[in-house]
Amino acid sequence: MENVLLCATNAGGARNVAPLLKEVKKRGLNPILITSKDMKQFFNFKNLKVIETTSEDTNAANYINQFNPKAIICGATRYPSIDRLLIREGKKNKIKTTVALDEWYNYRIRFENQKEELEFLPDIIACMDEKAKEEAVSEGIPKQLCYVTGSPSLSDLTDKAEDFIKNPRPIPDFLVSSQSEPIFTYLSETFTIDYGSKKGDVGLLGPFLGYTEETVKKDIITILKDINIPCTVVEKLHPSSKLENKETKINENINWIRIKKTDLWSLFWYSNAVIGMRSMALLESKIFNRPTISYQPGLIVKDISTAVKFGFVEKLSEKNELKTWLENQFEKYKKQDKRSINRYPFARKDASENVVNLTI
């Protein structure tokens, strides 16, 4: 049985690669997964060979020699990583290589080296929709490499969301005691490390945004204290965050639960509203038809939030705007909430099949 190497070392890439495992198996091929410890949560390991990698892993050539893959499929990433090295080594060895995009911005940087050369281009770039393809080409990605496939991640999410209507999942254990009050989810990110915490700072991904995950959190707490109605807030940490789970009683009415690993889609299902900044998960929340907002106070750079860009989610910039929005969510909580699911064109049902068909 021939092998196919699949690799993902960040959350967006892992969510895109996970649905492809089943499609590879359907073709009588043997999927071998390379992923990091933090990303394992996105995969089902039944009858799957898994190699745990680290950010220092440079063994791409060894993996190729060891497994002699028919093809290589990777998630997209901006960071130096084994994903990118596998693409480069695969092309050297004339092995078919594919990268599945997961976001509608920063296309070129995912394939560049430090000299801004397109060193890590695969044979195929799987784009979520025509807009992603057009924008990738406008940033200098060769058009002949770009194919519109749909998003494996968002297609898989929509399938599962539709199944939630028929077969609701149990409420997460950490929310069982909160069922009698509004549950808000705050999608935290790692902006302090990525962009710095004050004007003039430059983080791993660029200059200071004008806010951080901590300043947004502070605003949410201040507003909820002012409203002072019983509620629970789940601060969903980014998978790469170094913080640990923690439950805090802000005051007699506000329970704050910080959690890193949980089924995000079950969390959305049981949330009454979702607050984020730029996370792709804002779009995922809208698939679950949850009231969702992007809050970016003091933004001083270009907004690259996909959910805002497509008009799925409104962006708020002022604390008083967020307070009004939250007050409205408390009012809506009193009314019956009829659940429904949104399926968008980029979540086409054949997305995973399209990616694998192009590769194999």
CA distances from residue 128 to 145, 307, 348 in whole angstroms, order as listed: 14, 14, 9
Burial readout 83-101 (b: 16 or more C-beta within 10 A, e: otherwise): bbbbbbbbbeeebbbbbbb
The domain locations on the chain are: 3-148, 161-333
Domains 3-148 and 161-333 share a fold: yes
Q: Which CATH class is domain 161-333?
A: alpha beta
Separation CA 202–CA 190 (nearest Å): 13
Separation CA 83–CA 34 (nearest Å): 9
pLDDT at position 205: 87
Q: E strands, 101-199, where? A: 124-127, 146-148, 183-187
pLDDT tens series, the chain, 360 aa = 899 999 999 989 999 999 999 999 999 999 999 999 989 988 987 889 999 999 899 999 999 999 999 999 999 998 899 999 999 999 999 999 999 999 998 899 999 999 999 999 999 999 999 999 999 999 999 999 999 999 999 999 999 889 988 898 899 999 999 988 999 999 999 999 999 999 999 998 899 999 999 999 999 999 999 999 999 999 999 988 999 999 999 999 999 999 998 988 899 999 999 999 999 899 989 999 999 999 999 999 999 898 998 899 999 999 999 999 999 999 998 776 677 888 999 999 999 999 999 999
83 alpha-carbon distance from chain centroid: 17
Separation CA 14–CA 74 (nearest Å): 9
Query: In this structure, are residues 359 and 124 in contact, taking their beta carbons and an 8 Å threshold?
Result: yes
pLDDT at position 336: 64
Residue 212: name the closest of 297, 282, 140, 327 by CA: 297
pLDDT at position 360: 92
pLDDT at position 76: 95
Tell me the HSE value of 250 on the side-chain side, using a 13 A CA sphere.
23
pLDDT at position 198: 95
User: Which of helix, strand or coil describes residue 28?
Assistant: coil
3-148, CATH topology level:
Rossmann fold (3.40.50)
The pTM (predicted TM-score) of the whole model is: 0.80
